[in-house]
Structure 1
């Protein structure tokens, strides 16, 4: 794999810092309602916000902390082991390892971009930024090393490219409609979007509408047409989607446990997308043929 040394150093740094950041996030603070730590205030938009009140996430809302702690758990239990295993596999020349590594780095890039831009400022800010930067550049280098080869030759003709491509198109369309529907309601009522609380803007929705939706749509079209870049991008997008949607499903469970309301559409849609992404991931990996 080209850029092996650089990717190895960056990935090692990501693993160390991610364990520290996610572990501290999980263990920090007593949580709302315990020892009287939580507190409420009214935001400048007139929305009542209940802060977590303790630990590293003390200035974040209960809703966001429920999501952050769930994502910390998924990163620690799933993301870090996936990153480590895929790095070892890629160093051994396994195509599956290289594809998994690119997807895992995509997950870490998205995750710590959202932490850097969304979380209220805390002592882990520089750690989030380093994780975001390291993940982004390791992802780019891994993608460049794959782009130099004819990735489509690593896949069996039996790969159900059309079905996977249609799933990516359908998922991107549903996510776009879900977020645009939330924005449309706020435009009609002349109020801030639901769930904005005391934050400055909708970071997750911005990342999804600006990057995830277009990338998934383009990948779906290319894969349906069996273009070389379709195989490359589909592998990356599906690994990243499976990991990210698993964390979103964990977030929904965390929010329900914390007593935070979740819309019925999100409660049904995201776990369904998660299951679909896992099935697509299995189909992609099972149809990879290793060279030699």
Structure 2
């Protein structure tokens, strides 16, 4: 619904002209590629193969990025609450989906496949995108001016760059296993509780 309205309702977006090609392109990609891929991967994952599940997670990650962009980046319109709902739903779906992956099963499924090349490629793409977005923010911050990519928009700050910066600056969790209790109200060991 959100992508169809964005694409087919004339003058629906109230954003600056410079943002409109991105919004229309994102809607078109979501409608033509992401939604069919999501349903195909969901059907395939329901049949049992891990590949379908992993593809479903990937498309969910794409939708998370898309609706985070729409919730934080677009000018307010009649679908604002839909964008926020889709952002929240895809966020929790992705977190829950990642938490349900069995690492041993995933390793077994990839038994003969070399994954380092895929990981290196993804790390390279993520690094290049981060550099692309953050390079202009860094130089604009040093110069005390607004970044050129948002100078022509109605946005007060570069929202996506802010999200990327926040995610990159997060400290990685420690690898120590959790030893406390959550939600029990006591500090007894698991062996002593029944």
TM-score of the alignment, normalized to the shorter chain, above 0.5: yes
- Distance, in Å, in 2 between the alignment partners of 1:85 and 1:178 is 32
Of the three residues 182, 195, 203, the one matched with 2:149 is: 195
4+ runs of 1 displaced by more than 6 Å?
none
Deviation at 1:185, TM superposition (A): 2.4
- Distance, in Å, in 2 between the alignment partners of 1:86 and 1:134 is 18
- Distance, in Å, in 1 between the alignment partners of 2:3 and 2:31 is 6
Deviation at 1:79, TM superposition (A): 0.6
Deviation at 1:189, TM superposition (A): 2.9
- Distance, in Å, in 2 between the alignment partners of 1:72 and 1:134 is 18
Deviation at 1:23, TM superposition (A): 0.6
Deviation at 1:98, TM superposition (A): 0.6
- Distance, in Å, in 2 between the alignment partners of 1:214 and 1:152 is 29
Of the three residues 1, 22, 28, the one matched with 2:9 is: 28
Deviation at 1:144, TM superposition (A): 1.9
Q: How does 1:249-268 map to 2 (within 5 A)?
A: none
Measured on the aligned residues, the alpha-carbon RMSD in Å equals 2.1
Q: Matched residue of 2:147: which SS? A: coil
Deviation at 1:138, TM superposition (A): 1.8
Of the three residues 121, 124, 133, the one matched with 1:167 is: 121
TM-score normalised over the length of structure 1: 0.54
Number of the residue aligned with 1:34: none
- Distance, in Å, in 2 between the alignment partners of 1:180 and 1:127 is 29
- Distance, in Å, in 1 between the alignment partners of 2:108 and 2:128 is 31
Q: Matched residue of 1:56: which SS? A: coil
Deviation at 1:214, TM superposition (A): 7.5
- Distance, in Å, in 2 between the alignment partners of 1:75 and 1:81 is 9
- Distance, in Å, in 2 between the alignment partners of 1:203 and 1:147 is 34
Q: Matched residue of 2:146: which SS? A: coil
Of the three residues 66, 74, 90, the one matched with 2:29 is: 74
Deviation at 1:148, TM superposition (A): 6.4
Greater gyration radius? 2
Q: How does 1:73-92 map to 2 (within 5 A)?
A: 73-92=28-47
Does the 8 A contact of 2:137 with 2:161 survive in 1? no
Query: Deviation digits for residues 233-282 of structure 1, max 9, x if unmatched?
Result: xxxxxxxxxxxxxxxxxxxxxxxxxxxxxxxxxxxxxxxxxxxxxxxxxx
Q: 1:184 to 1:139 in 2, by over 3 A?
A: closer
Deviation at 1:149, TM superposition (A): 4.9
Q: 1:93 to 1:130 in 2, by over 3 A?
A: same
- Distance, in Å, in 1 between the alignment partners of 2:142 and 2:91 is 37
Deviation at 1:163, TM superposition (A): 2.2
- Distance, in Å, in 1 between the alignment partners of 2:117 and 2:104 is 24
- Distance, in Å, in 1 between the alignment partners of 2:106 and 2:36 is 25
Number of residue pairs the alignment of both structures matches: 169
Of the three residues 7, 15, 23, the one matched with 1:60 is: 15
Deviation at 1:100, TM superposition (A): 0.8
Q: How does 1:231-270 map to 2 (within 5 A)?
A: none
TM-score normalised over the length of structure 2: 0.78
